[in-house]
Structure 1
Amino acid sequence: MALLMEKGAEPQTESELADLDAISALKESAALELKEEGNKYVKMGKKHYSEAINCYTRAINQKALSDTETSLIFSNRAHVNLLLGNYGRALSDSEEAIKLSPTNLKAFYRAAKASLSLNKLVEARDFCEKGLNQNPDNVELKKLCELIDSKISERQQHEAQVSKALTAAKGLVSAIEDRGLKIGKAMFQELTGLKKPILDKDHILHWPVLLLYAEVMSSDFIEDFYNSAPLPWDKENVYTRDSIELYYEAGSGVCLSKKEIISNFLQGTVASHLETYGDDETDAVKSSSKGMASVGEGGSKWVKVNERRTLHAVLREPKFVIPGIPGLSP
């Protein structure tokens, strides 16, 4: 009997051939029944999806159906996996269905949907195009293709914004390096938020400055030094331009590396999630060992600002580590 034949042996008698034909027919019948049973489970709702997948898997494992029929079962299983959110499995099943039957439009559609859900937009677009090449009038594929194109456009716009923010941050760091300035950890973000210097088209750095009034436990954030309007809280007009002196704290803080400064400047932008910054990575590693040393080995002290000097000259003082943005105390 064929059931007792050794593995790999060829049937020798008509009886053995008949037995093999009968076994093949039984397996084919079982596979088709399992397919239909799986379809019924799908119609019964989400609670029965796992049973549907089990039926489809058993049908495939019979290895008794034609490539076209097996392709349909893989496509059906992909459909259920999509409904369950198993997008990786859905994509794998769809790809198997396409291999077995390159004309299976549902497989292309489900492969595209799975790829889209996995954020594989290029692959999703490719599956749509291949499906539409076979049937240009397929409405579902057309709609899905339009959605994917929209997502691709959104991604390109986002990438352009990220690139612009990163370029701006690198430009700031380069300008700061050229001027010999030292940047430390931001100390006053609860007062200033994520404010940072601005590099204009003429390569001029514009620094916001925080004034800290220790006597009255208040502060003033200055973005334009030419604005000399009186302080709204200074009712007695004590803090006038002619009556105050400015001081900065020297010898405190730790210089940040280039990589750390770029990361700080990217805060609050669309590029804040970046962990690597391209060509500057090597430079950042090299500079970090030097930058981690404090310039305040002899302790910190408050130094009076010579008002005849520019802000740029003050910021370049050897022991002045800018705490994110300059902070001065009247």
Structure 2
Amino acid sequence: MELPKPVAISDGSTDDGSGSFLEEFQCQHYSGGFRENHWEEEFEKIPLFMKKAPSEIDPRENPDLACLQSIIFDDERPPEEQAKTYKDEGNDYFKEKEYKKAVISYTEGLKKKCADADLNAVLYTNRAAAQYYLGNFRSALNDVTAAKKLKPCHLKAIVRGALCHLELKNFAEAVNWCDEGLQIDAKEKKLLEMRAKADKLKRTEQRDIRKAKLKEKKEQDQNEALLQAIKARNIRLVSEAATEDEDSASEGLGELDGLNYENPYGARLRVDDQGRLSWPVLFLYPEYVQSDFISAFHEDSRFIDHLMVMFGETPSWDLEQKYCPYNLEVYFEDEDREELYQVLPQSTLLQVLQHPRYFIKALTPAFLVFVGSSTFCRKYLQERKVHRIK
């Protein structure tokens, strides 16, 4: 085979034009070199020396990197190689704490559906770790579960699965995963620490559940005692949602279901050891748009006794100082009939609540209080039918 003859370089004495080219070339300054003051930036543009790859690669700005990427992610390579490349890329993102990008890389690796079960298990486990740091604990748990199916003895997957169950407050499951991992490595420190923590939290949770059940049972017993006490007194209850039809409302008056056990003031109807009731009671003063709330009005107490306490001193809103206990008149309202019933001050609360036209809303009896001799009271009463309770 005949080799090509070497080409002689002209010394500039010929007329082929090469001499002038060389002279011009030698006179030109090289513009592609590194700038002394910006050498770190220049190095960062070279793929081999890049500390961090750009989020988006523009072939015009980074032609070398774009070319390298096309080689690395060549779809013609075997699926195993492609999956491993995505795994390595995901690991780099993970080290940089770019967890969302790491999830994308591991996902792309899994999409290659390579036949290497161990590699797929690693991709699932690594993606679970990235999801964990993103706070996606359920997604992370799904990934480690998939990894464990592919590789039952994959300890990293088991550790991360136990961590996910802890975050999801599945303490019993966390203990089970730890036990499974300790069968593989009985001295694994993370699993031992996690199991102790999960078991303690599980016991605390079980104790809290028992307490909650006991509290619920106690409340049920108390409500049943209240229900029986109310029924025994023939007291009528009605919810805010009751219909205007008296018969349909009366059918549910003896039931506490659907009623507010605790009113907006935070007080509740209570029964004492002797079976006597104490009610939260609301006094309304329409003339001044004011109110008083008694958290525990014992059913055997008289109205005059409470009025003496409430108006022992003149309230700040009573500028005329006319709200004196013995000047006051107390009424309750039958809203369905738009009628008022006057309450004798010497009456006990129980006597009034047993009146056939008294219906208690939300377990909180309410009463209207007026100054009997006032103009406001006379005008208010003229607009409604008034019944005097004997």
The alignment-based identity, stated in percent, is 23
Structure 2 vs 1, CA of residues 159 and 50 (structure 1 numbering), >3 Å: closer, same or farther? same
- Report the counterpart of residue 349 of structure 2 in structure 1: 311
Matches within 5 A, 1:1-330: 26-46=78-98, 49-160=99-210, 162-178=212-228, 179-180=230-231, 181=235, 182-185=237-240, 193-201=265-273, 203-214=275-286, 217-223=290-296, 225=298, 230-231=309-310, 234-235=313-314, 239-240=324-325, 243=326, 247-252=330-335, 296=336, 298-305=337-344, 307=346, 310-324=348-362, 325-330=364-369
3-state SS of the aligned residue for 2:341?
A: strand
Structure 1 or 2: larger helix share? 1
Q: Could you tell me how far 1:105 is from its partner in structure 2?
A: 1.8
Structure 2 vs 1, CA of residues 203 and 183 (structure 1 numbering), >3 Å: closer, same or farther? farther
**Distance in 2 (alpha carbons) for counterparts of 1:193 and 1:201:** 24
**Distance in 1 (alpha carbons) for counterparts of 2:192 and 2:323:** 71
Structure 2 vs 1, CA of residues 168 and 195 (structure 1 numbering), >3 Å: closer, same or farther? farther
Q: Could you tell me how far 1:214 is from its partner in structure 2?
A: 4.8
Structure 1 or 2: larger strand share? 2
**Distance in 1 (alpha carbons) for counterparts of 2:137 and 2:285:** 58
CA RMSD of aligned residues (A): 3.7
Contact preservation (8 Å) 1:251, 1:301 = yes
3-state SS of the aligned residue for 1:195?
A: coil
Structure 2 vs 1, CA of residues 102 and 214 (structure 1 numbering), >3 Å: closer, same or farther? same
Q: Could you tell me how far 1:24 is from its partner in structure 2?
A: 12
Contact preservation (8 Å) 1:115, 1:121 = yes
Count residues with an aligned counterpart: 257
**Distance in 1 (alpha carbons) for counterparts of 2:296 and 2:198:** 44
1:3-37 CA distance string (max 9 Å, x none): xxxxxxxxxxxxxxxxxxxx999433333333222
Q: Could you tell me how far 1:90 is from its partner in structure 2?
A: 0.8
Contact preservation (8 Å) 2:343, 2:352 = no
State the TM-score, normalizing by the size of structure 1: 0.63
Contact preservation (8 Å) 1:184, 1:321 = no
Contact preservation (8 Å) 1:250, 1:300 = yes
Structure 2 vs 1, CA of residues 172 and 205 (structure 1 numbering), >3 Å: closer, same or farther? farther
**Distance in 1 (alpha carbons) for counterparts of 2:275 and 2:199:** 38
Contact preservation (8 Å) 1:98, 1:104 = yes
Give, as a single letter, the amino acid of the residue that structure 1 aligns with 2:271.
L
Give, as a single letter, the amino acid of the residue that structure 2 aligns with 1:303.
Q
- Unpaired runs of at least 5, structure 2: 1-74, 241-258, 315-320, 370-390
- Unpaired runs of at least 5, structure 1: 1-22, 253-295
1:193-250 CA distance string (max 9 Å, x none): 121112345544322333344566342525265787844762479644xx36664424
1:156-194 CA distance string (max 9 Å, x none): 45444543554455445434433233143499x99x612
State the TM-score, normalizing by the size of structure 2: 0.54
